[in-house]
Amino acid sequence: MTLAYISLLLIQLAVIARAVLRPHREPASRVAWVVVIGVVPVVGILAYLLLGETNIGRKRTTRARKIFAGVPPPSSPDAASEINLRPEFPDRYVPLFRMGETINGFAPVGGNTALLTADSNAGIDAIVADMDAAADHIHLIFYIWLADNNGLKVAEALKRAAARGVACRAMADGLGSRTMIGSKHWTEMRNAGVHVAIALPIGNPLLRPLHGRIDLRNHRKIVVIDDRITYCGSQNCADPEFRVKPKYAPWVDALMRFEGPIARQNQHVFVGDWMNYVDEDIRSLLEPPIKAPGTGFTAQVIATGPTIRNSAMPETFATLMHAARRELTITTPYYVPNESMQAALCGAAQRGVDTKIIFPARNDSREVAAACRSYYRNLLEADVKIYEYVGGLLHTKSITLDGDVTLIGSANMDRRSFDLNFENNILLYDEALTATMRARQENYLAMSSEVKMADVEAWSLGHRLWNNTVGMLGPLL
């Protein structure tokens, strides 16, 4: 037995031990990593060191937690607004909003109004119109910001606002928005007085893995204007033609414009993200009393990520599924659930809830599409109705249940959104707005093909083998 072999064996055993002892990991994930490291030692060890742990870097984690601890709790309400701010929803939804509150400390708040924008272009136009009317500040975060028609509309609106004295802070993810960050438009915004920042910058790709996983991203899409208007949904700052991946176009998104106290909760999320990458203390923006000019519905921000409680997002999804009594409709482009969430979805259908889930027929990730379809048989056996949207890449992330509750935001139902990405969502209770979201989901259904058990059984042996093999690798994240 050579020294090299003994050394490899010791390293292999050490990495296996680390995978087994790593906290906050599902048993299936531990087993999968042990098998991979044991069967293909060199590849498995390298894969684990690069991708096996959720790590944004010790310095970033320490800084993020310090900033989060120093951000003041939500301010007290304005005396004239106290009644309007009181949340109102049936007792059976108490567990939903209580779950959300345990994640970020944001209590559900009343006094909100909102509308669902017509489409991606209308959503960007609405954002630009609000930016042009801004009087004090504009804050935004986008995962993907492209230098296309819509992306440049937003850039120009920021420059106009900065020119008239509005404080403009714009943040983009270092990977998703790398083309915009490296373009002349980014420099022009900075020169025009827009404060720009990069979330999770890549730096040197060869050295980046030494400072945390390169594939941990800020996937949030947040706009806050004057502390009273905010946007939330799946919409990136880009055209629906999405020219970086044109063969999957159009990308079909949903974006809601909110007005009211819920904007302060998104402001909290923005302040934490901004201060994590910029040496500018803007916590004073969170101090003024919260105002609710009129009555409105109850809403709550749910923001998750690697520095937030582990498994917060799948717990939220599962809690919503358990709460459904009559109807549950879901849209998501990426579905790679953990066991508890898969059980919750199947359980909803099995207890008689009309349960529908809509995926894109053509996914921009071949591997995620295969992993997603590995769950089709179990879902269909539980009476979950599966649909595949054929009008483009359905990118909307939404849940509606029982005609009065909606969750909308950036989080997908996959391991990336569960453990790797920083996400942002809004949970709301309102019959009228949920009816609007439900109508949008019906439009998606009208452009979808239902998947039956016969379709799954008709898949070739190779097709099933590919789907199930990729599906088995899901726990490796």
Q: Distance between CA 28 and CA 338 in Å, rounded?
A: 9
Helices (H) and strands (E) in the chain, counts: 19, 17
- Residues whose CB is less than 8 angstroms from the CB of residue 115 and which lie 6 or more positions away in sequence, other chains included: 256, 257, 433, 436
Q: Distance between CA 451 and CA 312 in Å, rounded?
A: 30
Q: Strand, helix or coil at 263? A: helix
Peptide bond preceding 293 in cis form (omega within 30 of 0): no
Long-range contacts of 76-83 (CB under 8 A, 24+ apart): 76/289, 76/290, 77/261, 77/289, 77/290, 77/291, 77/292, 78/289, 78/290, 78/291, 78/292, 79/289, 80/291, 81/111, 81/261, 81/289, 81/290, 81/291, 81/292, 81/293
User: Active site includes 397?
Assistant: yes
- Over its C-alpha atoms, the chain yields an Rg (Å, rounded) of 22
Q: What are residue 229's DSSP bridge partners?
A: 225, 259
User: Active site includes 273?
Assistant: no
411 close to 398: Cβ distance less than 8 angstroms? no
Q: What are residue 225's DSSP bridge partners?
A: 138, 229
What would the DSSP string read from start to end of 343-406?
HHHHHHHHTT-EEEEEEESS-S-HHHHHHHHTTHHHHHHTT-EEEEE-SSEE---EEEETTTEE
Query: Which one from 148, 273, 364, 402 is the annotated catalytic residue?
Result: 402
| Nearest by Cα to 31 from 44, 19, 45 | 19
Q: Distance between CA 312 and CA 318 in Å, rounded?
A: 10
What would the DSSP string read from start to end of 180-204?
HHTSHHHHHHHHTT-EEEEES----
Q: What are residue 304's DSSP bridge partners?
A: 423
User: Active site includes 221?
Assistant: yes
User: Active site includes 402?
Assistant: yes
| Nearest by Cα to 434 from 403, 413, 402, 468 | 403
Token pair listed for 412? 């997908």
Query: Which one from 195, 291, 356, 397 is the annotated catalytic residue?
Result: 397
394 close to 358: Cβ distance less than 8 angstroms? yes
Query: Which one from 221, 268, 291, 356 is the annotated catalytic residue?
Result: 221
Give CA angle at 430 (424, 435), nearest 5°. Answer: 95
89 close to 299: Cβ distance less than 8 angstroms? no
Query: Which one from 119, 226, 383, 455 is the annotated catalytic residue?
Result: 226
- Alpha helix stretches (DSSP H) within 147-284: 149-163, 178-181, 184-191, 262-277
For residue 57, CA distances in Å to 63, 335, 418 come to 10, 27, 18
Query: Which one from 139, 148, 395, 419 is the annotated catalytic residue?
Result: 395
Catalytic residues: 219, 221, 226, 395, 397, 402
